[in-house]
Amino acid sequence: MKARVFVTLKPGVLDPQGKAIHHALEGLGFAGVNDVRAGKLIELDLADGTSDGDIEEMCRKLLANTVIENFRIERLEDA
């Protein structure tokens, strides 16, 4: 069983990296980019039967720093 964890900065938390990417896109001539926020994608290969609760605990204890980040879990049952 596979799962993907998306870790993103909470709204309102300054994202210097996203800002730099935004500027670089503008520098390349891409118009119409209103904002850029950078996050992380973590792919987990898990034993069958790993519960949602287990994955959430992994996120809270390590994968995300919930002071500044949110996380979203996507299970890929057939992958």
Residues that bind another protein (CB under 8 A): 13-14, 16-17, 20, 61-63, 65, 67-68
- Pairwise CA distance, residues 72 & 52, whole Å: 11
CA distance 57 to 27: 41
Whose tokens are 């994968």? That residue is 63
CB of 33 to another protein, least distance (A): 18
In the complex with another protein, the residue whose CB is nearer, 14 or 47, is 14
Q: Which is nearer to another protein, 47 or 62 (by Cβ)?
A: 62
Q: Minimum CB separation from another protein for residue 68, in Å?
A: 5
Q: How far is the CB of 7 from another protein (least distance, A)?
A: 9
DSSP 34-50: ------EEEEEE--TT-
Distance separating alpha carbons of residues 30 and 24, to the nearest angstrom: 9
Of 55 and 63, which CB lies nearer to another protein in the complex structure? 63
